[in-house]
Amino acid sequence: MHIPVYGAPFHWRQPPQPPIDWSAIYPNEVILHGPRIQAVALTFDDGPDDEWTPQVLDDLRESGAKATFFCVGQRIEAHPEVFLRMVREGHVVGNHSWNHPNLARIPLAAAQAQITRTDEIMERLAGVRPRLLRPPYGALSHELVHLAMRMNKTIILWNVDSLDWTEIPDRQVAAHILSHAGPGSIILQHSAGGVGQSLQNTVNAIPYVIDTLRRRRFAIRTVPALVNVPAYAAGH
Q: Is 45 a catalytic residue?
A: yes
Task: Give the CA radius of gyration of the chain.
Answer: 16
Which pLDDT tens digit goes with each residue over 88-137? 999 999 999 999 999 999 999 999 999 999 999 999 999 999 999 999 99
For residue 160, pLDDT over 70 is answered with: yes
Q: Is 146 a catalytic residue?
A: no
Which one of the listed residues 45, 49, 59, 119 is annotated catalytic?
Answer: 45
Task: Please report, for the chain, the start and end positions of each structural domain, with discontinuous segments joined by +.
Answer: 31-227
Residue 228 burial (10 A CB sphere; 0-12, 13-18, 19+): exposed
User: Rounded distance, CA 187 to CA 42, Å?
Assistant: 5
- The per-residue pLDDT for 235 is 76
Average pLDDT of the chain, as a whole number: 94
Which one of the listed residues 100, 146, 190, 211 is annotated catalytic?
Answer: 190
**When comparing pLDDT for 224 and 14, which is higher?**
224
CATH topology (fold) of 31-227? TIM Barrel (3.20.20)
